[in-house]
Amino acid sequence: MSASAEGPLLLAVDVGNTNTQFGLLRGTTVVADFRMESRRHRTLDEYWAIMEPLFRREGLSWNEVTEVVISCVVPPAREPLCQLARKATGAEPLVIDHTTDTGLTLLYHRPEEMGADRLVNAAYAFHRWGECIVVDFGTATTLDVVNAKGQYLGGCIVPGVSISMDALFSHASRLPRIDVRRPDHVIGRSTEEAMLSGVYFGYVSMVDGLVSRMREEAKIEGKVIATGGLAGRIRGDSTTVDEVMPELPLLGMAWLAARRQEQRRRSLS
């Protein structure tokens, strides 16, 4: 995405188990984003050295970054990223966790176990659409439910597509490694076609089945929002997914940062 020339930059850092995404936003516009492999023990200097040329490539500068917000599910990566934020802005970043004021009431029995990514997605989706179910196709596929009262009810966690494919390849010696894409047939006429159909249509059916059960159990009819790697591919075959929003995590973090700023302004007025 091309950079806009006006306004301060917010750096949103979404650390997943497999990849880390850095999003640069001016307001609600993502002007640039970068991805790198998530590593537990990458240092401040490594982050800075990797990010500096990426900034220059987009015609941006660290000097434009005024705020950093971090969503991290890899605990050892958190402190080096906080150091990066302090170096870039001279201020503490907003680190999302279960204590962050998101506007949701968490009904999770142990909210400290809840992944920051799930919290960000659920909070922003509720802000945008009201009661909803969020499906995130990441290293794990997660489904999260928020009712009309803003109560986070809980959700489901299942192995992601890549994990499932790796397990199948590792434990069945005669099965090949394949890339996930939409097959032309549900009934495969070769081993590769059968694997592809089983994974692709299996995940479509799993999502639709879980969403239907969640709606019945929670007594909600809200929108189903999908994000993550497989979201755009399955929408055409899913009977339940209403919206696909790849930038949901970044927009969610930017919204939470703006929410915190507004709360601070109100407390000082």
Placement of tokens 């599910």 in the chain: 73
Q: Which residues sit opposite 95 in a β-bridge?
A: 70
242 is catalytic: no
Distances 37 to 15, 97, 184, 229, 240 between C-alpha atoms, Å = 9, 22, 32, 15, 31
Name the catalytic one among 14, 33, 45, 117. 117
Question: For 115, phi and psi rounded to 5 degrees?
Answer: -65, 140
What residues are annotated to the active site?
Answer: 117
